Amino acid sequence: MPQKSYLLRCGKMFDGIKEELQEKMEILIRGNRIVEVGKSLKTSPETEIIDLTEATVTPGLIDAHVHFQHFDWRKRTEETLYGSPSWKAMAFLYNAKKSLQRGFTTVRHTGSATFDAYGGISAKKLIDAGYFEGSRLVVLPYYHASVGSHGDDSQLLASNPPLSKAFYEMFPCQGSGVDFFRDSVREQVKYGADFIKIMATGGFSTPNDSPDDQQLSDEEMLAIIETAHQLNKKVTAHVYGADLMKKLIEMGIDCMEHGAMINEEVAELMEERGVYLVPTFCPYDEIIRLDEENLAKKSPEFQAKLRQYEKRLKAGRETIVNSKIKLGYGSDFVAVHNPYDGAYEYSSWLLSGMDPFRALKAATSVNAEILGREDIGTIEPGKLADIAGWKKDLLNDHEALLECDFVMKDGDIYPTEKVE
């Protein structure tokens, strides 16, 4: 049976490389690969012409920070505590389909805090095998965390210690000591982890910790990084403050998530060492651009911490925008928006003064580097045919990604769905 062949005729095209929109380009696709990019391309009679002349065409977008183990942010605590492992595992398939329909052809699941029966790994394999439609998944099943930390959801049950203890013991990667964490890294890799993540500091959404906490010892963090690198896996870290970020850079970390209270010294060090940052702007927007309506949707402790750290969050945002750090694009939606609605992060970047081409590169070619995927992230011959099309003005409309008009993954065309 001959391979499908498509010719996409673009109004404008962002290829993931050049910081420009190229006019009237064409993309020739055969099977699941891009074979030629240019103008007035020659085609065979069986080639299907796709008219995207009213759209701006981009590589399929990549969200490098999602948590796909829950369905609805409004019920996240309920699902965390009472959802069965199979319930949470099925959420991966639901969220992956929804994110694909929104133009995100690949997503990076950055770990679960509750046991989901390694649902992310199963969902990844099932989607790759063609049993389910969905974004391509790059998966860390569970992040490495200490007792009572931001990564320990049993703190939601802290008022009932026996129940909290039972809940905690279901989680594979929470513990203490160098030997424990060396083994937990090896176990995650054994079960299929694509990368490793350290929950280095506290967070905003959990009740019993602070974003300034260091929640693993230096020896434990170094053991995680060294063990992962020995197994040829990249390491990222959940971290907020500049001091701990600097420490992780010196330890050889590959990437960091959030970094919301970074300073100029650490930004320059990241630039020098080539360490990536996925800044996840959206979760802090309610205080940076005061939005009392959305702020009220968050838990009381989340609201209180945002107000407490307002000045440092604003300073950190400014530092990131003005830096030359290699930025990845990640949404981290566990409140206000659902996990598949990564388009809102683009709005946050543009409203924060970020150059739109930097945001688009973050969501395409830079994220492909972070994921270690040389076959995606750009529109070039030989790359996988992951393509998205947008009729709104990507450079001037901060809400442009909320409405995807065309999506192709692996050379197959899928229906699109507007972000609500």
Q: Are 108 and 64 in contact (CB under 8 A)?
A: yes
For the chain, 420 residues long, the average pLDDT of each consecutive 10-residue run is 89 98 97 97 93 98 97 89 93 98 98 92 98 98 92 87 89 95 98 98 87 96 98 98 97 98 98 98 93 89 92 97 98 92 97 98 98 98 98 97 98 92
Residue 219 sits in the same domain as residue 291: yes
Q: Give the CATH number, domain containing residue 49.
A: 2.30.40.10
Q: Which amino acid is at 88?
A: K
262, part of any domain: yes
Cα separation, 420 vs 417, in Å, equals: 9
Which structure tokens are listed for 412?
A: 């197959």
Bridge partners of residue 406, in order along the sequence: 389
233, part of any domain: yes
419, part of any domain: no
Residue 173 sits in the same domain as residue 295: yes
Q: Are 352 and 321 in contact (CB under 8 A)?
A: yes
Residue 291 sits in the same domain as residue 172: yes
Residue 28 sits in the same domain as residue 65: no
Domain boundary among 292, 320, 342: 342
Residue 91 sits in the same domain as residue 135: yes
352, part of any domain: no
pLDDT of residue 248: 98
The three-class DSSP label of residue 113 is: coil
Domain boundary among 342, 369, 393: 342
Q: Which amino acid is at 224?
A: I
196, part of any domain: yes
The three-class DSSP label of residue 118 is: coil
Q: Give the CATH number, domain containing residue 258.
A: 3.20.20.140
Residue 261 sits in the same domain as residue 169: yes
- Domain extent at residue 42: 5-59+377-414
351, part of any domain: no
Task: Indicate the pTM of the whole model.
Answer: 0.96
pLDDT of residue 190: 98
114, part of any domain: yes
pLDDT of residue 294: 87
pLDDT of residue 156: 85
Residue 161 sits in the same domain as residue 292: yes
Residue 321 sits in the same domain as residue 299: yes
Residue 166 sits in the same domain as residue 49: no
Rounded to the nearest 10 degrees, how much is the dihedral formed by the CA atoms of 37, 40, 44, 50? Answer: 70
Distances 254 to 226, 274, 372 between C-alpha atoms, Å: 11, 8, 11
